[in-house]
Amino acid sequence: APCPAYSEAPTLAKSIEEMVDFFRLPASKMVKTLVYLADGKPVLFCVAGDRDLNEVKAKRRVGAKTFELADFDTVERVTGAPIGYAGPVQPKEEVPIYADKGLEGARGVIVGGNRPGEIDLKDVDLARDCRITAYADLTIVKNGDICPVCGQPLAIRRGIEVGHVFKLGTKYTQAFNAQYKTADLTEQVMVMGCYGIGVSRTVQAIIEQSHDKDGIVWPAAVAPYQVCIDLLDPDRADVAQIAFDLEAELEAKGVDVLVDDRAERPGVKFKDADLIGFPVRVVVGAKGLEKGGVEIKRRDEDKSAVRIVPPAEAPALVATLLAR
């Protein structure tokens, strides 16, 4: 059925959220019209109410060097409407109008009224009622959008920036007269770039990717200390000697070890070890030794995975757990 002629719809709704409440329609039935200055000249961009304009795409589409949102006075001058009521139907000035390709064929939508007063227009057919310069990919991608290459839904995942690539241009190469010769032997100044990995960013990224409710879970390869030996009875010389002997044997194998010999309760030591995130924890205490050995556990394992082995077997087991 043909779309009925558009009509005015007086409303105090300015934002998409307010329009959804007022018209009792989904945001996808609204059209947002944004006025930008591309190299100082006004341009209108239209996207569906549930999408956001990607300024990089828009700037690239019009080939502009400078690109910024228009000020309030420019919006009113170009569209004839107050802020919040700009639309693609007969703007006051003849300016380019670009619409997202998702709006191609859109009918029965609600747009800003482009006239004095707080007025929107409903039942708008973009092809019939607007002079769209071109349809283009203009919006920020959303989870579930269809990939234009493979036709499958896109999935958005969080990433962590740990490095940068910088384009330095010719600032330094001109100063050093660094040149190269093209295929036709013409000399050109080199365009310089550099890259760098942020050490502190890398550490933060590791922690963000490897933690739980109790604290950090360091991968053994990057842990500040790979093993924490919790000495539960530091005042017992015989127990302390077993802990320090184990420390020396592990360090001789190239393992970084921290001995917690503080005069603290076992629970405090265990909690701190989990918080700091040592890959392997070894518990040396008088009671455990009386039962046959020391307790060894990986940080990423459940409490039920605790192993009790004689002190002499502890270094080999720790090495095995670190290698996993």
Domain layout of the chain by residue ranges: 7-136, 158-209, 227-323
Give me the architecture of the 7-136 domain, per CATH: Alpha-Beta Complex (3.90)
Stretch 254-258: mean pLDDT: 96
Query: Architecture of domain 227-323 in CATH?
Result: 3-Layer(aba) Sandwich (3.40)
Percent of the chain with pLDDT over 90: 79
In the chain, the amino acid numbered 11 is T
Query: Per-residue confidence at 1, pLDDT binned at 50, 70, 90?
Result: low
How much is the pLDDT for 269?
Answer: 97
For 166-188, write each residue's pLDDT tens digit.
899 999 999 999 999 999 999 99
- Is the pLDDT at 217 greater than 80? The verdict is yes
HEC per residue, 249-289: HHHHCCCCEEEECCCCCHHHHHHHHHHHCCCEEEEECHHHH
When comparing pLDDT for 221 and 3, which is higher?
221
Q: Dihedrals φ, ψ of 103, to 5°? A: -95, -5
Q: Could you read off the pLDDT of 227-237 as tens digits, one per residue?
A: 999 999 999 99
Q: Predicted confidence band at 38 (pLDDT cuts at 50, 70, 90)?
A: very high
Closest CA to 280 of 319, 233, 239, 222: 319
Specify the pLDDT at position 236: 95
pLDDT at 240: 96
pTM higher than the cut 0.85: no
The pair phi, psi for residue 306, each rounded to 5°, is -60, 135
127's enclosing H/E stretch is helix 126-129
Q: Check: CB of residue 31 under 8 Å from CB of residue 106.
A: yes
Share of the chain above pLDDT 70, in %: 100
Compute how many other C-beta atoms are within 10 angstroms of the C-beta atom of residue 89: 22
